[in-house]
Amino acid sequence: MENRLRVLRATRNWSQQDLAGRLEVSRQSVNAIETGKYDPSLPLAFRIAELFELPIEEIFVSPSRRSSKAI
C-alpha cells in the first residue's frame, strides 16, 4: 500500500530507528511499511496516524481509491 510515511518522517527529521522507537516496533517494520512490502494492522495504522496527528487516509493511500483514479 502506497503511503507518505517516509515524507512525513523526513519533515520531522526522524530516522527509521527514531520512528520505530516511537511506534514501539522494529526498524525493519518501519522500512517494510515505507517501501510497501508490508501493510500495517489497523491498530498500528492508528498509532502511526496518532503519532503524526493526521487521519489515516492522509498517510496511507487506499488501494481502491488508487485504482479508481487510474480508471
Contacts 24+ apart (CB under 8 A), 34-41: 34/3, 34/5, 34/6, 34/9, 36/1, 36/2, 36/3, 39/1
Task: State the minimum distance, in angstroms, from the CB of residue 71 to other proteins.
Answer: 30
Nearer to other proteins, 34 or 52 (CB): 34
- State the residues that interact with other proteins by CB under 8 A: 15-17, 24-29, 31-33, 35, 37-38, 40-41, 44
Shortest CB 51 distance to other proteins, Å: 16
| Nearest distance, CB of residue 65 and other proteins, angstroms | 24
